[in-house]
Amino acid sequence: MKRIFYILLLSPIISFAQTYTLKELTTGKNTSMRGLSVLSNSVAWVSGSNGQIGKTLDGGKTWQWTQPKGYEKLDFRDIEAFDDLKAIVVNAGSPAYILSTVDGGKSWTEVYKNTDSLIFLDGMSFWNQQQGIIFGDPINNKMQLLKTVDGGLTWQDISKNLNKNLAKGEAGFAASGTTIRTLPDGKVWIASGGTVSNIYYSANFGKTWKSYAIPILQGKNSTGPFSAAFYNSKLGLVVGGDYLKDKENSNNVLMTTNGGKTWKKPLKPVLGYRSAVEYFNDKICFATGSSGTDYSTDGGNTWTNISTQNFNALQKAKNGDLILLTGNRGNIYQLLMQ
């Protein structure tokens, strides 16, 4: 009788085992995409080099492309979309631009410009429809911080709110727009890398900040955390490594259970360098980068490789279960869970 009971307990686990595969949606566009904003199972936006911005309204089956006039040479490293009509993009490099559209990408308005030769914006995240934040590499040892309270129409420099000077060679990575993460209640985390790796944390919409060390691979300008994800105020992940040695995985993924104050290594790491990490739920997580894609079913403690194909960014729909990956040469793929 006990033997039958054990079989009954085990059978649901076996029947619900999932497989993870990648499905090509589109490729061949002359752009390397690092900006990704997935809103629902239908609507998603992407952005990349050569001024390219794409949008789908049918879950990735078809894509509409645009190049904002006058900005065709920019590398749009991050995009934040609010619906099928409104989106904001930010480029990497100098001059730095922030553009906004409210008509689905038909026209774009320049809402910010910075011509400082040292300006380099790395990523953007929004707490809600009105309040958002952008961070950039340090100027005079100060991390650059911009904040909006009107949905991205105007941006204010709040760099002075972060009192700590960054170390020499410490900066951000604009690899997927995800070294900055927010939660709706005003929390924000920013991960830095290079010679030193830290997590900068604010609980009050960027007014005051704390910093904690991240013991990930670091010490060179090609090393550090290239992406962070927080499931809630406690559970978080960072991934990265050395993008010049993208198959090495000695210390390129870490977990936190206290909001970034302390970090620990997983039992089994991702396969190599990773530039994006994302929670599907509190247990299932995904990470991707130039040397492949991995998944975890235990909150990031053990990872299994899905593919060795090159990608830059990965994101789950804010309202839905659509998961998209973007890469070079216009590659957009869907991650399927079956």
For residue 18, what pLDDT is reported?
87
pLDDT for residue 1: 37
Distance CA 201, CA 317 (A): 24
pLDDT of residue 17: 67
Which pLDDT value is given to residue 248?
A: 96
Let me know: does 335 contact 323? Beta carbons within 8 Å. yes
pLDDT of res. 13: 37
Half-sphere exposure of 251 (CA within 13 A, CB side): 11
pTM: 0.94
Quickly tell me which residue has 């595969």 as its tokens.
21
Domain 20-33+56-66+122-337, classified CATH 2.130.10.10, yes or no: yes
Find residue 23's DSSP bridge partners. Answer: 334
Dihedrals φ, ψ of 221, to 5°? Answer: -70, -5
Do the Cβ atoms of 273 and 245 come closer than 8 Å?
A: yes
The per-residue pLDDT for 5 is 30
State which amino acid sits at residue 12.
P
**Contact (CB, 8 A) for 290 and 273:** yes
Domain boundaries, the chain: 20-33+56-66+122-337
pLDDT reported for residue 131: 98
**Token pair 């609980």 is at which residue?**
203
Phi first, then psi, for residue 245 (nearest 5°) are -130, 70
Bridge partners (DSSP) of residue 123 are 135
pLDDT digits (tens, 9 = 90+) for 149-192: 999 999 999 999 999 999 999 999 999 999 999 999 999 999 99
Cβ atoms 194, 170 nearer than 8 A:
yes
- Residue 3 neighbours by CB distance under 10 Å: 7
Q: Which of 308, 195, 324, 299 is nearest to 237 (CA)?
A: 299
**What does the block give as tokens for 318?**
């804010």
pLDDT single digits (tens) 273-321? 999 999 999 999 999 999 999 999 999 999 999 999 999 999 999 999 9
- Please name the amino acid found at residue 304: T
**Which ranges of the chain have pLDDT less than 70?**
1-17
Tell me the one-letter amino acid at 336: L
> Cβ atoms within 10 A of the Cβ of 83, count?
13
Pairwise CA distance, residues 8 & 244, whole Å: 49
What is the edge-to-edge ordering of all strands in the sheet holding 44-48? 33-38, 44-48, 53-56, 64-66
Bridge-based pairing state of the strands 33-38 and 304-307? unpaired
